[in-house]
Chains A and B, each alone.
Chain A
Amino acid sequence: MKSNSAVNEFVIKFANVNGTGSASANNMFAKAIFRMGIPVSPKNIFPSNIQGLPTWYEVRVSEKGYLGRRGGVDIVLSVNPQSMQEDVADVLPGGYFVYDSTKPLDLRLVRDDINYIGLPLTRICATEYSDPRQRLLFKNVIYVGALAALLDIEFDVLTDIVRSQFKGKDKLIAPNIHALELGHLYATQNFDCPLGIRVKRVDKVGDSILIDGNAACALGAVYAGATVAAWYPITPSTSVVDAYEKYAKRLRIDPGTGKTNFAIVQAEDELSAIGMVIGACWNGARAFTATSGPGVSLMSEFLGLAYFAEVPTVLFDIQRTGPSTGMPTRTQQSDLFAAAYASHGDTKHVLLFPSNPRECFDLAAEAFDLAEQLQTPVIVMSDLDLGMNDNLSAPLSWNDQREYKRGKVLDAEQLEASERFGRYRDIDGDGICYRTIPGTHPSKGAFFTRGSSRDEWAIYTEDGKQYARNMERLLKKWETAKKLVPAPVLRSAGQPTPLGVIYFGTSVDATHEALDYLSNEGIELDGLQILAFPFNDDVVDFIENHDRVYVIEQNRDAQLRSLLMIECDADPKKLVKVLEYDGMPITASKIRSAIKQDLPGPASVTPLRRKAADS
């Protein structure tokens, strides 16, 4: 039988039961690969449940640096009998199924085109440990030790990770290393190690870090000077505020008094959370909330208030699979409509689309500047895939010379020198007016903020002309926003081509990989990574300059494509949908085949009836 071989290019999937402590062992595995200089991309696939259901950890190892989900599994490490049948079926022909062989394998699970490696994990634990908890926990560490032998992971790298992981709890170091050794020993004694699929030290990660997108967003908020965080728990956004709290407690304690230079409130619901953010921002602090789709729905009325009353607001939407509760622990990019036009009336909001942790950090910080410069809500659109998984990322950095852009805020001196203050007067012609913070000046600058129409002096009015003028000024501000938001990033084909691809967020890695494959096949496309909404002229030009533009996104209704049609007046016939919406991150092969299927001519075999690109 064929055994696949591959050095530093493979996918391994761990099939666990949630709540059994497998997560830290699996993380140790991914970190070891990373520390051997090999790009790695781990993804948790977990149920909406606390204990007892199947959970998977899929790790893509790619020396070439492909970090998107690949699809297909070369090695399954199975310790969950519940999901064994489906896990066996997952393995690619020639791949490996590593399982707990304490009990003999059910014959129905035997395929003749894959290799089986039995590790008697339960038996080893039973002889080694008397405490049932230890048996459960160390089972995970033992399989990591065995994988080290099978895949040729440097053992020292693993022991170093154990040492740093248990720093301060030194008692735990020796038993963990011992467990690693148990697994390692068993594998070396019973199998030809290493397998054909294995790792080898290279130098391909440079100074990269492994961090989840939510922690990077939180750090962005800390660095941008956010002081108020109000939130309501919801997967997958909770860890944004958890991480903010963790870092704020470390970095934001007043050295003199020991008191906090931040305030975190767990609100009673998302309406309250966004209300607190708006109140704090109105009063001159930088504040944010983090939520997911259901929370965005609840926050909509308030977002309209912030848009119309022009109060800076920052919101992180860590998207998950909708509609409604959908698949709460699966990923999607499906809140674009809900966020872009959140609230009734003519309302639209600035969106930012990070695709990796470095962008999460940078765009989070940028969100606070933009919100205050534009005096409007800014929504950072991340998702579960980026937010909750460790991602290989360029290191975070901050320019110490950087000053916060607080926008047009009048201080006491400026007010003192001014005539009558008009909150909604467009003095500079960019649609952005001057605001004041409560308490600034004893007799000048006070005004009444409201969600109802008002004139330039902030006085209530039902005069239709004044209302319309204000709405048009808000549009002018929208035009100004186009100049302030980050521009899209072009990935040129290096030669003229009529084909283009537009993509954003967590579709970026898979798209770039697909573009490489297509290029190898002689199909060249220009790529454009969108970083923000509103789209600026670069996006309009890109669509104009190509005959056919594939729009890649992870939702059913091609929401980005619709936004391009609405806001750029793009010809729908030109814009081809490439979609994934099953809750799993989009893969390069999906994108590649969708594009190939759509292309006319010799590059593809023309099917009898052309299939829609998204089928």
Chain B
Amino acid sequence: MSYIKPSFRHPEAPTNNIGYTEADYEGALSTLCAGCGHDSISSAIIQACFEMSIEPHTVAKISGIGCSSKTPTYFLGNSHGFNSVHGRMPSVATGANLANRHLTYIGVSGDGDTASIGMGQFSHVVRRNLNMLYIVENNGCYGLTKGQDSATADVGSHSKKGAVNQYQSIDLCALAIQLGADFVARSFSGDKAQLVPLIKAAMSHQGFAFIDVLSPCVTFNNNVGSTKSYEFVREHIQATGTVDFVPMQEEITVSYEEGASQEVCLHDGSVVRLRKNGKDYNLRDRAAALAAATDHAHSGEILTGLLYMDPDTEDLHTLLDTSECALNKMTEAELCPGNQALQKINDSLR
């Protein structure tokens, strides 16, 4: 069951540029287990959309099947949502995006949904550079079917039943970088300070933006020995730097010390800043990003933050050269060539 939340609103709740309060971005009450990492991600999405002053109805939320894929019910209640079938969110998102290029598409998936049953669709949506934010809520297990190991579970990690995973794990960020994604990030559900700016930057990126969010499953995968549990993740996180996102609407007043930050200007005019914490991380180097993600994994660390980004990207619509007008807005006038043209075709067939 999902519950309709009481629409009580604090009279002095702050509003954003377009007059909405943060509550306007909320959804139905979550039915996930208390403490589930997925809920923290939902609230990060809510905060990001609020801060970016996105009109909720211009967002479409699409997901597969799993605890993670249920979450679109729990944020952005004024946006249309589509909980599709297991592992197939990317295709539904692709179709939706083709129909209307002017909405913001948020795809939510799980590690089972993406790295196993949906591996094919994930790879191909990356290749096509669909303009969307693709979030994997990665808990290293199948939450909804009661805790089986997923393909992102690390070798040697323990499931709740105590079984040791013997199979190689799939690093979705490394894969996305390798497949040509132009925005790849990793974060942790409990680290809102990092996650919110990443989500904002991802939504501003005019192409495929991928965020792998480690999101512990408190019920089936938060035990000692699991590499996707709170303790483990907290202890082993290595950040590439603090990500800061400045939306286009805001005047850029904050100034950083020369050399301390790396800035990337996005096509909608907003800016992503990576604050370097002593680490020399080059956002724009695909090979280095891949190496960094893999090296850290080998040393038992999880590299988080914006791992790779190239703002000069051509999304699927650009590649297909589709009209600026959304296809779903076109009518007979644009679409139907009329009987005269048909009679000419008949003539060519005689």
Contact = CB atoms under 8 A, between A and B. Distances in A.
Given A283-B96, A283-B99, A225 B336 contact: yes
B80 A265 contact: no
A438 B79 contact: yes
A440 B326 CA distance: 13
A142 to B, nearest CB: 26
Nearest to A403: B332
B80 A436 contact: yes
B84 interface: yes
B346 interface: yes
A267 B338 CA distance: 30
A222 B336 CA distance: 7
A397 B342 contact: yes
Contacts of A282: 82, 92, 95-96
A219 interface: yes
B92 A265 contact: no
Contact of B1 (A261, A285, A461): A461
Contact of B338 (A398, A447, A448): A398
A263 B332 contact: no
B339 A263 contact: no
A302 B346 contact: no
A148 interface: no
Contacts of B79: 438, 446
Interface stretch (B231-239, B298-306, B317-325): B317-325
Contact of A439 (B72, B103, B128, B343): B103
A272 B124 contact: yes
Contacts of A396: 342, 345-346
Interface residues of B, number: 66
Contact of A443 (B57, B121, B325, B346): B57
B91 interface: yes
B60 A283 contact: yes
Given A223-B336, A268-B120, A399-B339, A263 B98 contact: yes
Interface in B308-343: 316-317, 320-325, 327-328, 330-332, 334-339, 341-343
B330 A225 contact: yes
A271 B96 contact: no
Nearest to A459: B2
Given A398-B342, A404-B332, A459-B4, A280 B83 contact: no
Contacts of B320: 260, 263-265
Contact of A272 (B60, B81, B88, B96): B88
B15 to A, nearest CB: 14
Given A225-B332, A398-B338, A438-B80, A279 B91 contact: yes
Interface residues of A, number: 76
Nearest to A450: B83
Given A219-B345, A272-B121, A399-B339, A302 B322 contact: no
Interface string A256-275: 01011111110111011111
Contact of A448 (B72, B91, B317): B72
A470 interface: no
B99 A287 contact: yes
Interface string B241-265: 0000000000000000000000000
B94 interface: yes
B321 A211 contact: no
A259 B95 contact: no
A395 to B, nearest CB: 4
A47 interface: no
A301 B337 CA distance: 35
A438 B57 contact: yes
A613 B182 CA distance: 64
A219 B339 CA distance: 12
A452 B330 CA distance: 31
Contacts of B337: 222-223, 251-252
Given A252-B335, A257-B323, A446 B350 contact: no
Contact of A275 (B91, B316, B328, B332): B91
A223 B342 contact: yes
A462 B90 CA distance: 27
A438 B323 contact: no
Interface in B21-47: 28
Nearest to A365: B336
Given A211-B349, A446-B57, A447-B80, A261 B327 contact: yes
B77 A228 contact: no
Contacts of B17: none
A382 to B, nearest CB: 18
A437 interface: yes
Contacts of B336: 223-225, 398
B78 interface: yes
A261 B93 contact: no
Contacts of A397: 339, 342-343
Contacts of B332: 225, 403-404
Contact of B60 (A35, A223, A224, A438): A438
Nearest to B338: A400
A230 B96 CA distance: 12
A418 to B, nearest CB: 15
Contacts of A275: 84-85, 88, 90-92, 94-95, 121
A585 B2 CA distance: 54
A210 B124 CA distance: 39
Contact of B77 (A207, A263, A446): A446
Interface string A197-225: 00000000001111100000001001111
Interface string B62-85: 100000000011000111111111
Given A272-B120, A275-B91, A301 B85 contact: yes
Contacts of B55: 442
B342 A257 contact: no
A398 B77 CA distance: 43
Interface in B90-138: 90-100, 102-103, 120-121, 123-124, 128
B73 A438 contact: no
Nearest to A457: B4
Contact of A398 (B1, B81, B334, B339): B339
A364 interface: no
A282 B99 CA distance: 9
Given A259-B323, A283-B99, A302 B121 contact: no
A302 B121 CA distance: 14
A285 B100 contact: yes
Contact of B56 (A264, A442, A449): A442
A462 to B, nearest CB: 7
Nearest to A396: B342
B103 A209 contact: no
Contact of A210 (B62, B316, B327, B349): B349
Contacts of B166: none
B30 to A, nearest CB: 12
B4 to A, nearest CB: 7
B284 to A, nearest CB: 29
Given A404-B332, A449-B82, A209 B349 contact: yes
B98 A451 contact: no
Contact of B84 (A251, A261, A267, A305): A305
A569 B325 CA distance: 50
Nearest to B79: A446
B328 A285 contact: yes
Interface of B: 1-2, 4, 28, 55-58, 60, 62, 72-73, 77-85, 88, 90-100, 102-103, 120-121, 123-124, 128, 316-317, 320-325, 327-328, 330-332, 334-339, 341-343, 345-346, 349-350
19 contacts: A219-B342, A224-B336, A225-B335, A228-B95, A260-B321, A261-B323, A265-B128, A265-B320, A272-B90, A272-B121, A275-B91, A276-B95, A278-B95, A279-B93, A446-B56, A448-B81, A449-B83, A451-B84, A459-B4
Given A272-B121, A279-B91, A460-B2, 8 more contacts: A207-B350, A210-B349, A222-B337, A223-B342, A225-B331, A227-B98, A262-B327, A284-B99
The 6 nearest A-B residue pairs measured at CB = A279-B95, A275-B91, A285-B99, A276-B95, A438-B80, A280-B95
